[in-house]
Structure 1
Amino acid sequence: MALVMPSPVLISNTYYLRVRVPSDLPASAKGQSVTLPVGDSFKLVKMTDFVKVSLETREPRTAKERFAKAYSALQSTWQAMKDGPKPLSHKQSVALAGEIRAAFIEAFDDDPGNPENWHRVLEQNAAAKAARLNSLTIPTLKQQATDMEKRFGKLADARLAIHGMILAPQYRQRLLMQVAEGLDEMARVNQAKAEGDYSDSGETKRYPAFEAVQAEPKPTAATSSQTFKSVIDERVRRRSAGKDAVPLREETVDKYRLATDAFATFRKSDDLTTVTPEEADAWKLALMEGGELSNNTIGQRLQNVRTVIEWARKHSHGKLFPLGNPLATIERPSFQPVPSDARTYTMLEAKQVLSAARKETRNDLRWLPWMCAYSGARIEEVAQLSKSNFFKVGDDWFYRLTTSGGKTLKTRSSERRVPVHPELIKEGLMEFVNGLTLAEDNRIFSNRSQQRIGEWLRETVKITRPELAPSHGWRHLFEDVCLVGGVLDAAKNYITGRSSGKSGEGYGKSEAMLPGLANEMRKVPFFL
């Protein structure tokens, strides 16, 4: 049977393109819109079982010409859908913008029209870039994306269709910005011509020739559908492997799960491999406009999602998102940082907390506030101590903050041996530790100590000042009282696990220096 080629269809005295959508297109193609050239304009057409668009003519000859161009573009689009989304480099974006610019300059070369028309084009272009196409809307990144799409999207799609490309979403905004810049140049050239100045013909070597790109690698076992949960689970497994492994802390894992769960709920999918920058940016804006979280917290959650995606890229050896992390272009929201003194305990608050801790019977509530107060240590560091981490040199007691035995610290410089302050000895800390009957390597305190102490501070001790960092506030206060007591900077930095980049960081690294470190700790004033 001879293959019947489609042709224009006459409906109510007007010719249409009406063709059936091929059955071998991806299932996701149905319902998508395609941009087709019709005469001197472009039409956005939604695909169902058919693609139907008016050719806007009653003349058979004109209908055939318009049909041929539209059908050719449609076939290119269908092939692009089969090939899948493609990346677009910066150079290729500029090249496409140059093609659009050149087409408009050529079209209006003989008759550029009224200069005021081109002035209005420039104004509308500027309004779109500033998210002000509608003067009543509030300029936001989301609104800017909408305005850019409305102003330049069809032109970009038509040019992509000519090259038979479906663009991967993460490259969309960059292309539209280049198209906008090219059309600004075009409008200025045509405005000058309309005013009688043809000194600038519009010819330029600025725009490179477009060179086709290779399709992104087809999904493999390494890049096929993965959930955020599976990537985090795999990261936990890898970090826990090996004799000297440094596992991720439970609270660290929890923060990644919190951020990715929220993002997955927002985008209605836990499939990490399909994340786009637009989704992340929309999530950021929704959180900011919701007003429940601080901008700093929103920025941290964005970073946590980006980190998990980066883990997935590393696990796939670069096969997933080979051109970069899709969240790399998302700008973290600006925020006004909380001053350090506002996050720190006042002396009155410190006394209130330590006095309340004396009355507690739970190990973590009784001892962790005191140990943090007299060391400046991060609560998650001291919370993972075991009985075997305590040792004595001469008459002085110390405890070792280490990554050995599956423990975790923020940085490698956080490995240290901290003298037990005399006030902790008087409080009975060592009698408590030495009297424990648990195994030497078992944790003394709960895995949920940090959360439990935060709740206790707010609900029982009744310190509800929102700026205060319940656990980190001890860190700032300890450094302040070290200054009051005249503790050497090298000793203070070592005890708190801070890195200064100076040679003095060797302080306390050998056992011979530990007595000197204990002497410096004795300079720290008492809180009560």
Structure 2
Amino acid sequence: MPKPVLIRSTYYLRVHVPRDVVNQAAGTTVVLPVGDRDCRVKLTTHAKVSLRTKDWPEAKKRFATAHAALETYWDTLRSGSTSLSHKDTVALAGEVVATFLQVLEEEPGSPEVWKQVAKLDANAREGKSNSLAGPTPSTKVTDMEHRFGELADAQLARRGLIVDNESRNRLIRRIAVAMEDVSRVSFARATGDYSEIDTLKKYPNYEPKPKQHPGVHDERGGVTFDEVIDEEVRRRSAGRDAKPMSSSAERKFRRAADEFAKHRKSKRVDTLTAQQADDWKWSMLNEGKLSNSTIAQRLQNLRTVVEWARRHALGNLFPSGNPLELVALPQRQGVNSADRTYRFCEAKLVLEGARRETKPELRWLPWMCAYSGARIEEVAQLRPDDFFQSADDWFYRITTKGGKTLKNQHSKRTVPVHPDLIAEGLIQFVQAHSSKPNQRLFPRRSQGNVAGWVRGKLGLTRKDLAPNHGWRHLFEDLAMRAGISDSAKTYITGRSTGRSAEGYGKSDAMLPGLATEMRKLPSFLPR
């Protein structure tokens, strides 16, 4: 099974192109999701891209997402080029417009720049880019290619599409027209006019065509995996405050369903049996190419899709229960949690190092994780308005408000600020940003930044150590030693095994008791 490769101090995705598509792939470009970015990767006999992290657990997550997108591209190459319909072409051009307007929303630049951009775009559309040559049909094609060709190629790569020449040329022409919207709206914003909010409504949504695998039958008369996933995507996008399914999540579910469909040679959900799923599991185990963990994850993803199908059918499908519940997941030998945990000498080294840093994520996130056992991605999302004072104690709320994401419902909680954090200056740091109460205190790449700093600058290279998650286990051990009640410890860390912890934080009346429990935690470093 491919896995991240460590080159110098950073992890990379580096995999060979499959033999059956290596000739088609050579020289082409694919866009792969890496963290919060889309990275363009030019293919040779292999694909190589930096995962932009020095943290092994984070590298594995980023690798899985990028590798899934890469395997989707291999499937696209195997299927050959396709043609874009008129609606598809307009939809893809609309996505180009949406990307520009999103990136430039906060800082659109100057009106003069957009006047110049609009002029250059118009000249290209008319074949007048070269002021010394008269426009001809030939110069128009050349100018459009030079001006808009890379935008078209980037959008096709982002969607993993390989299209025929006519479809590509049609997309270039459509993007050339669509860029008028970018220039017009950006010019208006640059002058202070943000009133135009309906620009994107005229563009349809792009709807990828489901891929058919050789030997897989899309039988009539029954619901298919593609239809189930399409419906789940639609349901999650419905409503004003909806939280749509991410593209990476959608890809992983489609991949599991497609692989299972290839194995059983049918995409119908309603005819699935537990025996078929168990046979698929054993075929993967016997093949020996995938780790037990990966196989278990694919079975779990398939189980989730089948459960969606049951919910969509309001219990009329598999009324006796999800057939995948009967399939035992393969087990693997995990890493001992004690090996992932910070040793006390390591914890002191990190906290002392953080005191010397000026970047907010390096200065404060290790301290906040050490004194709460929180997952770093939870505290990295905090904003100034998440902090509040009750009597003499300070707290912060870990919630999903404002677009934040949490592991589960139990992760929502109110965490007391330990006196050591106040003495270090955390509250002053938060209050210094109070003029922007809804803006994140820490950058989006905080998790990777902190892990890379721990591994690189501080030199903690012990393989099993989890640079970010290791605080969670250490906090729990110290809380137990300090006599913090189990219910308070469970609530503060956002665990889902608590009983009386359910009462903590539900009202302000419970907060003083929670703060009292937190004060029992001993100091890591002398002040």
TM-score when normalising by structure 1: 0.48
TM-score when normalising by structure 2: 0.48
Larger-gyration structure (1/2): 1
